[in-house]
Amino acid sequence: MFSAVVFVLAVAVFGASGQRFLAVENGQLRLNGEKVFMSGMNIAWQNYGRDFGNGQYQCCTSAALEDYIRRIGAEGGNSLRIWLHCDGAYTPSFDGNGYVVNTDDQNTMIADLSQFLDVAYANNVLVFIVLWNGAVAPYYRYLDLIWDESKLQTYIDRALVPMVSALSGKVALGAWEIMNEPEGLVAAGVSDANPCFDTTVLAGSGAGWAGSFVPMELLQRFINRQTAAIKRTDPKVLVTLGSWSERAQTDEFGWRNYYKDNCLIDGGGDGLGVLDFQQMHAYSWQGAYSPSAPLNVPNSDYNLNKPNLLGEFSQTGGDGRTIVDQFEWGYSQGYCGAWSWQANGGGEGSDDFATQALGLNHLRGRNDQNAGGRVDIVLQ
């Protein structure tokens, strides 16, 4: 009798498919037994690097951030991307020697994120939390975490693992993203006997624009170690990484996938530290996308063995196509999601909210299991 009750409860909690949290199965993002398509926006931030932790959420940012959740859901969206530490200037909490001692000085970050995820859950919106930003020059303490693995380990032990553990039961947590656009920090044009560390193919590509000149091997270690720690703490949760373009996430078109499993393991040495799905960003240059950009080619052309999400794009930063055309392309051309840039309308190349909402509404209600999959997800 007891075992029968346990079985019934298990079915009620996890569904007939045995899968209540977002997962990767057979090369697809899946939820509740169906292929799903992540249709949403980058909130990215309300107050850059200061949205969560140190009491800022309760005093200053929660109203705006939670309003974005509700508005994205109301426009037919099912997901959002939000940045956490950003450049590391405000969180995590460091001691005088650059070792991490906590998530934040006032120890409010976990409670802040928990509340944010609860609001997302109530609105059937999945949240993808980006830990770090590589698109701008980082605060020196953050850069030290990349160069010094002992300091990185203190971040993992005292900030990352506590966050992952505390939030592991949140159904609205879609994935952790280790870093936005690490290619901004990389030393491009460096030769190495190991192709995973050789960045000569990135010479002249624009990579390295933030001027930090970090060897690719150290970025891969940074990604690998955090990914592995997340998966040891919460084995079911997904992990991803957002690249500035396709140039660092495919071996096709003369480029190199620096974040495929063997490269991350070569860099960090931990076999568990591999990504669950990939993510590419797409912006035009002088009004045109590169020939191999994700808004020019179907996902199948990249010859990847994992789902691939169109993580940043905009009508303003595009090639003349409308935001509706861009969302439709992501849905129909094999990508597992599309997130426009950026809900607050404040970042470079950003569309305003109303423009992005046109794309969300275009995909509202779609459920073609032979194309992108279900958009109208239910979390409760």
Closest CA to 137 of 208, 215, 52: 208
Number of Cβ within 10 Å of residue 261's Cβ equals 15
| Rg (alpha carbons) of the chain, rounded to whole number | 20
Is 181 annotated as catalytic? yes
Catalytic residue, chosen from 66, 75, 177, 181, is 181
E-assigned strand segments in the chain:
23-25, 28-31, 34-35, 38-44, 79-86, 93-94, 100-102, 126-133, 173-180, 238-243, 278-281, 308-312, 337-341, 367-368, 373-374
Q: What are phi and psi of 279, to 5 degrees?
A: -155, 125
Q: Which residue has the tokens 């999400």?
A: 309
Question: Does the active-site annotation cover 25?
Answer: no
307 SS3 class: coil
Catalytic site residue from 75, 217, 312, 328: 312
Structure tokens at 282: 């797409």
Helix residue ranges, H only, the chain: 2-14, 56, 62-74, 109-122, 140-147, 149-155, 161-166, 216-233, 261-268, 323-332, 353-363
What six digits make up the tokens of 373? 């999959």
Q: Which residues, including other chains, have CB under 8 Å from residue 87's CB and lie 6 or more apart?
A: 48, 49, 133, 136, 137, 138, 139, 142
Residues noted as catalytic? 181, 312
